[in-house]
Every structure is written in C-alpha cells, then in structure tokens.
C-alpha cells in the first residue's frame, strides 16, 4: 500500500520548501491537495517525483500533455503573489491540479482546457474533492477566457515561445501573468505585470518544462 500522505510530505519538504517557496499558504495547499488524484492510474506511484508527468500521450499530430513538476508550479504561484480576493485564470489546466492548488489561495479560479477528455477529468476530480470555487471551461488556450475577464492573475501551465496580446488584454490593472518562456536549458520563469495599461516583464528563475501546445513561435524562413 502506497502511503501518499508521506510521499506528499516528502515532496513539499524536498522540492517545495527546499527551493525558496516560503509562502505558507502554498505549502499548506500542496500538503492538502492529493496530487495522485490528478495523474493517470498507471502513474499514481510517481505522482510526487520531481519531474513532469504525462497526463495525455501524443496522438497523431496532437502533442503530449504534461502535469508540470511540483517545484516549478509552487515557485510560479509564489511569483504570481496570489491573494485571497483574486480572480485567477489557469491556462492549460490539464487534469486540474494547479487549479486545485490555486483554489486554496484565490477567491475564484477559471480553469481553461481545450482537450475535452482532460477538461472532463478535471471537472470530475475537482468535484470529488469538493472544490467549489473552480469553473472548468473548454476552449482554445491561446484565446484565454474573455467571458470572465478581467483577471488578477493568469497562470500559464507550460513553456511558451510567445504570449498572445489577447491574454495581456484580459489582465486587470495591476494584474500578473506567470509562465516559463523558452525551452529546455534556456527556459526562464517570467512575471509580467500590467501597470497603466502597459506590461512589464521580469525574469525570475531558470526552469525547464514541456511546451504548452499552441504557444509556439511561427516558423521563420531562412534564405
């Protein structure tokens, strides 16, 4: 029998607290949320490892989707400085884990997912856990969810090559967007803040996570 509570505690101690996550609210949320509920059954024993986990394999031209490693999730959430009255958009919500963590910190979370099976899984698991301040929506990730804008925080679940201007347009004044920009060893967590209608950018820490489909740079022709 796997002791998930002990594995969860080990994850928080070795991966979260040990990597400069000092916000006790984030630590508490990650101690409470059963990450194993958000991964496919064959991978439950790996739910708390320090790595990204596949939650949907690649299918034809559709890339694989991943649950981003706990340390990066925790540090990005801390970077976003989520407050208890905040309205948050979680882009690329997958099976709903980050939305569940964010639900402990914010007033309301919109979890956006374009894959129907992942959105259904997120809805089911969040309901089973009694999370009642997350609304799972299905639609193109790059479009955001303008129907519920504006947001205090936009959390982008995965690495990107670009951020569509429409997402910045869905931020409130003073709103924050966090993501990992770039791939592999060149990946960098960044904080974008909207002040007086303008968006400023701040590089925070190095991070390597899988790319979020739809946020790739357009191919360039080289002559």
Q: What is the DSSP string of 155-202?
A: EEEEEES---HHHHTTEEEEEEEEEEESSGGG-EEEEEEEETTEEEEE
Q: Is 223 inside a domain boundary? A: no
**End-to-end CA, the chain:** 60
- Position 60 scores a pLDDT of 86
Residue 158's pLDDT is what?
Answer: 94
Task: Assess whether the previous peptide bond of 130 is cis (omega < 30° from 0).
Answer: no
Cα angle: 132, vertex 134, 135; to 5 degrees: 115
Q: Which parts of the chain register pLDDT below 70? A: 218-223
Q: How many domains does the chain have?
A: 1
Residue 222 has a pLDDT of 52
What is the predicted pLDDT for the residue at 200? Answer: 96
pLDDT digits (tens, 9 = 90+) for 106-158: 999 999 999 999 999 999 999 999 999 999 999 999 999 999 999 999 999 99
Look-up: residue for tokens 């708390």? 48
Residue 159 lies in a domain: yes
Q: How many CB atoms lie within 10 A of CB 34?
A: 16
Q: Please check whether residue 212 lies inside any domain of the structure.
A: no
Give residue 15's domain range.
Answer: 4-206
Q: What is the CATH number of the domain that holds 48?
A: 3.40.50.150
Please report whether residue 42 resides in a domain: yes
pLDDT computed for residue 219 by the predictor? 59
For the whole model, what pTM was predicted?
Answer: 0.95
d(CA 41, CA 132): 24
Q: Is residue 220 part of a domain?
A: no
Residue 219, in any domain of the structure: no
């Amino acid at each position: 029998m796997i002791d998930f509570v002990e594995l969860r505690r080990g994850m928080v101690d070795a991966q979260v607290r040990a990597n400069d996550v000092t916000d006790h609210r984030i630590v508490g949320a990650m101690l409470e949320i059963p990450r194993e509920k958000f991964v496919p059954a064959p991978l439950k024993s790996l739910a708390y490892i320090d790595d990204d986990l596949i939650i949907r394999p690649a299918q034809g031209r559709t890339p694989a989707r991943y649950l981003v490693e706990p340390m990066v999730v925790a540090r990005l959430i801390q970077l976003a400085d989520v407050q208890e009255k905040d309205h948050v958009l979680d882009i690329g919500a997958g099976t709903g884990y980050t939305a569940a963590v964010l639900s402990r910190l914010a007033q309301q979370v919109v979890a956006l997912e374009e894959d129907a099976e992942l959105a259904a899984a997120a809805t089911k698991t969040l309901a089973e856990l009694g999370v009642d301040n997350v609304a799972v929506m299905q639609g193109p990730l790059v479009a955001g969810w303008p129907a519920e804008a504006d947001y205090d925080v936009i959390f982008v679940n995965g690495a990107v090559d670009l951020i569509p201007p429409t997402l910045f347009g869905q931020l409130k004044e003073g709103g924050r967007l966090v993501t990992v920009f770039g791939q592999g060893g060149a990946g960098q967590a960044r904080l974008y803040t909207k002040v007086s209608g303008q968006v400023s950018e701040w590089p925070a820490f190095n991070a390597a996570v899988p790319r979020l489909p739809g946020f790739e740079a357009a191919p360039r022709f080289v002559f």
